[in-house]
Amino acid sequence: MTARETAGREAPTPPPAPTAYDRRMRALMNRGEARPFYATAARRRLVVAAHIALTVSIAVTWGVAQATGRMWLLFVMIGLLLPWFLATGVINSATRGLLELRGRALDERQRAERDRVGARAHRTMLVLLLGGTLGFIGARVLGDTDVTVSLPYALAVALITHWLMPLWVAGLQVQDEPAED
């Protein structure tokens, strides 16, 4: 290569060094207290299923409270948040903070894994949104119903699902840790 050809190219810059915050978060995500909850694939699937069930319960409780005016249901929703936070922590611990840590705190393998999780979550959301859209169109055309009433709730469900899908996919895709000798 000539000097002219190499002058326009820049060498890839390595990611910046992890900061103290990155090191603290990495240590937090790699603590072992929750290991019994995610030690096997079946337990991880159970935690992800529980997280999905808690998310649905919280969303339904909120929707019913809004629709009926029974504001005491918000206390039920707050009570469901504690196990939801615990399940979120277990999934984050199982994935070693794959989605919570900044890129500079991850190695190349982890960054590639995060990209794979993001791509799978994106494809899954695409299928779910397509199904939901076809369902709304079908309800409007075939059912002769007014779907605009339920549209805000459907959008809230889509937003929550879009937000949490990468966490659920990561929790389901994480591999078992190698057995100790």
Q: Does 54 reside within a domain? A: yes
CA distance 162 to 181: 40
CA distance 90 to 17: 27
Tell me the residue range of the domain where 126 lies.
39-173
Instruction: Give how far the C-alpha of residue 6 lies from the chain's centroid of Cα atoms, to the nearest Å.
Output: 42
- pLDDT (tens digit per residue) in 53-104: 999 999 999 989 988 889 899 999 999 999 999 999 999 889 988 888 888 8
Is residue 127 very low, low, confident or very high in pLDDT (cuts 50, 70, 90)? very high
Q: Does 128 reside within a domain? A: yes
Q: Which of 30, 166, 8, 169 is nearest to 107 (CA)?
A: 30
CA distance 95 to 2: 46
Q: Does 18 reside within a domain? A: no
Q: Does 59 reside within a domain? A: yes
Q: Does 181 reside within a domain? A: no
Query: What's the structural domain count of the chain?
Result: 1
Lowest-confidence region among 9-13, 40-44, 102-106, 127-131: 9-13
Tell which phi-psi region holds residue 136, choosing left (phi > 0), alpha (psi between -120 and 50) or beta: alpha
Three-class secondary structure of residue 178 per DSSP:
coil
Percent of the chain whose predicted confidence (pLDDT) is above 90: 44
Question: Is residue 8 over pLDDT 70?
Answer: no
User: What is the pLDDT, as a whole number, of residue 12?
Assistant: 66
Q: Between these two residues, 138 and 1, which has the higher pLDDT value?
A: 138
Q: Which of 42, 90, 79, 72 is nearest to 57 (CA)?
A: 79
Q: Does 147 reside within a domain? A: yes
Q: Does 131 reside within a domain? A: yes
User: What is the pLDDT, as a whole number, of residue 145?
Assistant: 75
Q: Does 104 reside within a domain? A: yes
